[in-house]
A and B are shown apart, each in its own frame.
Chain A
Amino acid sequence: MEYKPIKKVISGNYAAAYAARDARVEVVAAYPITPQTSIIEKISEFLANGEVENLQYVPVESEHSAMAACIGASAAGARAFTATSAQGLALMHEMLHWASGARLPVVMVNVNRAMAPPWSVWDDQTDSLAQRDTGWMQFYAENNQEVYDGVIMAFKVAETVNLPAMIVESAFILSHTYDIVEMIPQELVDEFLPPRKPLYTLTDFDNPIAVGALGTPADYYEFRYKIEKSMEEAREVIHKVGKEFGERFGRDYSQMIELYRTEDADFVFMGLGSLMGTVKQAVDVLRSEGYKVGAAKVRWFRPFPKEELYELAKNVEGIAVLDRNFSFGQEGILFNEAKGVLYNTDAHPLIKNYIVGLGGRDFTVSDVKKIAENMKGIIEAKKLDREVEWYHLKR
């Protein structure tokens, strides 16, 4: 069948819901939280209108139970999906460890939202990045199209390596903003993403298994190692799946870091998610003004794209890491990761951290331009003015 996309102007949240539908998810267990709600509202509409066949929607009483029910459903053999944000994700935290430890390919959309207090519903990446060590893969979407594509690819990757995956989109900037999304006809999604073949199920009554047993110090260690082996394997799988997606549907995701005009760049901006859309636009403006700059959008934060970062870092003089998040007592989380990766290599560009956009603070092209000026000075001086800059701070 020839690929003819179905174009629709939809929000990031609707893109997530349509992707879940097209991935033929079997069980959705979810709890409402702003700004995630329109994902589960749309899925509920699919059910009400008969657009999905016998999908089981479990309207749980908390996010903790949402993930627990997804774990139960996934262990029973179903393709399970949920969506949440911020406080809800934090409430799920215990179960995030459980999903990966039990090796269940649950897929979740998290809408990045600031953690309270102060109470906030706006964009901030700390909620998802704080789940860094839970054994979930994390994909950051730049736009609504990537939300849709990401969910479908995530199921394929997750079900190959038997680890859960989180697709992350920005509060309001993507979740509630409408844009053209090219959706894939169902038959072609089915070809790309066949039905799940679970490793085990809770349904083999004559040959029963026990899941979630006690692991003594004699065994626990190896279980952890196997998760890491699968994370390493995931890098290859992501590359393959992203390439196949590109060949079939024209949007290539084979690279875990998307490079934009970095070929001859003196320095690059690096970051996650929707803010990189702004950065790309700024790069065009800066290029027209004679700056040799590029953008490096980290698509997959877990597993972390170590090799790709090294290859990039070898060829630039500076990296401006833009973190819409913060780890208190240290620095921006992506910055921290990037420095860690490069320490044991021979690639040591000047690398500076800019803390931007926390709690939905607007971050615009002119902000990127100001940062470019600052970075230009740093590179000329061959020396950082400071390591971490709270860029927007009111003085």
Chain B
Amino acid sequence: MAVRKPPITTREYWAPGHAACAGCGCAIALKLATKAFSEAMEEKYGDPNAFAIAQATGCMEVVSAVFPYTAWKVPWVHVAFENAAAAASGIDAAWKKLGYKGKILAIGGDGGTADIGIQALSGMLERWHNVVYLMYDNEAYMNTGIQRSSSTPYGAWTTTSPPGKYSIGEDKPKKWVALIAAAHQIPYAATASIGNPFDFVKKMKKAAKVDGPAFVQVHCTCPTGWKSPLEKSVEIARLAIETGIWPLFEIENGDFHNIKIQSPGGGAKVKREGGKVVAIEFKKPVEEYLKLQGRFKHLFKQPEAIQVMKEQIKAMWKVLGVDVILP
């Protein structure tokens, strides 16, 4: 009987027993990211274990290592909130001096990356360290109890952007750190999502194999912070892709003229010119994504806010060189 090869290594680096919430999208992301990393290390250095993690304070840090336990089956260090990239820089320097072959995976949430950690991130990328920075983007400070970050999307409820008589919730568009990272002209920057695990794994492997810095921003559902059903985490993330909310793209060497756009699926019509995606006509309305999440519930009483959101989505795609039509 033929045995099918599993689509990804069965080696585990993110062990069961971690204390993440049920349905946590970030936990899925870390599991996949480390598996992808391991495969890349095996292919690049001949040692599937040749990597270490430097992680910023945040949900995934707090749930993963409670003394004397750890969920990590890989060398791991936590050096506060704003500086996973700086700590990773130091490890990279030490490895270069001490002659170790391998790669460092820096991990931070959106708060630790887009806000307090962006300076350290920029420095690490600019200095060309051999580090992949993975930003798990659950779009707010979830560890401290759901406060808005610069990566919180327009319209979302958080405890510091509550909707009310004078507020529609978060009133600024989302900041896309992947674009900022790409502007450092690093070898590889990409967005990904737990809603498309194959694409995510492929991108993590690609990131892990480049020489020099790489950045991946992965969209992760947070059922606690998004007020969404536990069992629908992957479905919701997929809907973000299919409705145009979450573009999947890759930018190599800061070449903004040749951004690679991944097809969103969900029946969207993709128009290409000379191999490049130039237009997408989405078929699934963003409301399908929004309605599964309590954080957007109030928007359905203010349809004009949803229109504002749609205009922002179009503007984001325009930055990527793509004209979109949203239903």
Interface residues of A, Cβ cutoff 8 Å to B = 26-27, 29, 54-62, 64-66, 68-78, 80, 94-95, 98, 102, 201-206, 208-216, 219
- Contact of A56 (CB < 8 Å), options: B49, B94, B100: B94
Complex contact A61–B67 (CB within 8 A): no
Complex contact A208–B74 (CB within 8 A): yes
A95/B80 contact (C-beta < 8 A), A65-B89, A208-B73, A214-B66 known? yes
Complex contact B89–A72 (CB within 8 A): yes
Complex contact A210–B97 (CB within 8 A): no
16 contacts between A and B (CB under 8 A): A29-B89, A55-B97, A56-B94, A58-B93, A61-B126, A64-B83, A65-B123, A71-B90, A72-B92, A75-B91, A208-B74, A209-B75, A210-B78, A213-B65, A214-B62, A219-B68
Complex contact B54–A72 (CB within 8 A): yes
The 6 closest A-B pairs by CB, nearest first: A72-B90, A212-B78, A61-B123, A69-B90, A65-B86, A76-B94
A56/B83 contact (C-beta < 8 A), A208-B73, A214-B65 known? no
Contact partners of A26 in chain B: CB under 8 A: 94, 97-98
A31 to B298, CA, bound (A): 47
The smallest C-beta distance from B180 to any residue of chain A, in angstroms, reads 14
Interface size class of B (residues with CB under 8 A): 35 or more
Contact partners of A56 in chain B: CB under 8 A: 93-94, 96-97
A219 to B66, CA, bound (A): 10
A68/B120 contact (C-beta < 8 A), A77-B98, A210-B72 known? yes
> Other than the known A64-B83, A76-B90, A205-B50, what 17 A-B pairs have Cβ atoms closer than 8 Å?
A29-B90, A56-B96, A57-B93, A58-B93, A61-B123, A62-B123, A65-B86, A65-B120, A68-B79, A72-B87, A72-B94, A74-B90, A75-B87, A78-B93, A210-B64, A212-B65, A212-B78
Contact partners of B76 in chain A: CB under 8 A: 202, 208-211
Complex contact B50–A78 (CB within 8 A): no
A211 to B54, CA, bound (A): 10
Is B159 part of the binding interface, using a Cβ–Cβ cutoff of 8 Å?
no
Complex contact A59–B72 (CB within 8 A): no
Complex contact A213–B90 (CB within 8 A): no
Contact partners of A65 in chain B: CB under 8 A: 83, 85-86, 89, 119-120, 123
Complex contact B123–A60 (CB within 8 A): yes
Interface residues of B, Cβ cutoff 8 Å to A = 47, 49-52, 54, 62, 64-70, 72-80, 82-83, 85-98, 100, 102, 119-120, 122-123, 126-127
Contact partners of A94 in chain B: CB under 8 A: 80
The smallest C-beta distance from A340 to any residue of chain B, in angstroms, reads 31
The smallest C-beta distance from A31 to any residue of chain B, in angstroms, reads 10
A198 to B156, CA, bound (A): 47
- Contact of B90 (CB < 8 Å), options: A58, A64, A203: A58
Complex contact A213–B75 (CB within 8 A): no
The smallest C-beta distance from B113 to any residue of chain A, in angstroms, reads 14
Complex contact A205–B47 (CB within 8 A): yes
A68/B75 contact (C-beta < 8 A), A29-B90, A56-B94, A216-B67 known? no
Complex contact B83–A68 (CB within 8 A): yes
A143 to B92, CA, bound (A): 35
Contact partners of A74 in chain B: CB under 8 A: 90, 94
A203/B77 contact (C-beta < 8 A), A60-B123, A78-B93, A210-B65 known? no
A202 to B123, CA, bound (A): 22
- Contact of B127 (CB < 8 Å), options: A58, A72, A203, A206: A58
Contact partners of A219 in chain B: CB under 8 A: 67-68
The smallest C-beta distance from B118 to any residue of chain A, in angstroms, reads 11
A133 to B122, CA, bound (A): 31
- Contact of B86 (CB < 8 Å), options: A64, A213, A215, A216: A64
Complex contact B78–A211 (CB within 8 A): yes
A62 to B87, CA, bound (A): 13
Contact partners of A211 in chain B: CB under 8 A: 76-78
A284 to B297, CA, bound (A): 81
Complex contact A72–B91 (CB within 8 A): yes
A201 to B52, CA, bound (A): 10
A205 to B72, CA, bound (A): 11
A72/B75 contact (C-beta < 8 A), A61-B119, A61-B123, A78-B98 known? no
Contact partners of A215 in chain B: CB under 8 A: 67
A58 to B90, CA, bound (A): 8
Complex contact A76–B89 (CB within 8 A): no
Contact partners of A27 in chain B: CB under 8 A: 90, 93-94, 97
Complex contact B86–A68 (CB within 8 A): yes
Complex contact B75–A205 (CB within 8 A): yes
Contact partners of A201 in chain B: CB under 8 A: 75
Complex contact B87–A68 (CB within 8 A): yes
A68 to B88, CA, bound (A): 9
Complex contact B67–A205 (CB within 8 A): no
A224 to B210, CA, bound (A): 41
Contact partners of B54 in chain A: CB under 8 A: 72
A209 to B76, CA, bound (A): 6
Contact partners of A213 in chain B: CB under 8 A: 65-70, 78
Contact partners of A77 in chain B: CB under 8 A: 94, 98
Contact partners of A214 in chain B: CB under 8 A: 62, 65-67
A215 to B65, CA, bound (A): 9
Complex contact A61–B95 (CB within 8 A): no
Contact partners of A78 in chain B: CB under 8 A: 93-94, 97-98
Residue on A nearest B84 in the bound complex, by CB: A68
Contact partners of B126 in chain A: CB under 8 A: 61
Contact partners of A80 in chain B: CB under 8 A: 90, 94
A66 to B89, CA, bound (A): 10
A60/B94 contact (C-beta < 8 A), A68-B120, A98-B80 known? no
A305 to B92, CA, bound (A): 38
Residue on A nearest B70 in the bound complex, by CB: A210
A225 to B153, CA, bound (A): 45
A75 to B90, CA, bound (A): 9
- Contact of A76 (CB < 8 Å), options: B69, B95, B127: B95
Complex contact A208–B75 (CB within 8 A): yes
Complex contact B100–A203 (CB within 8 A): yes
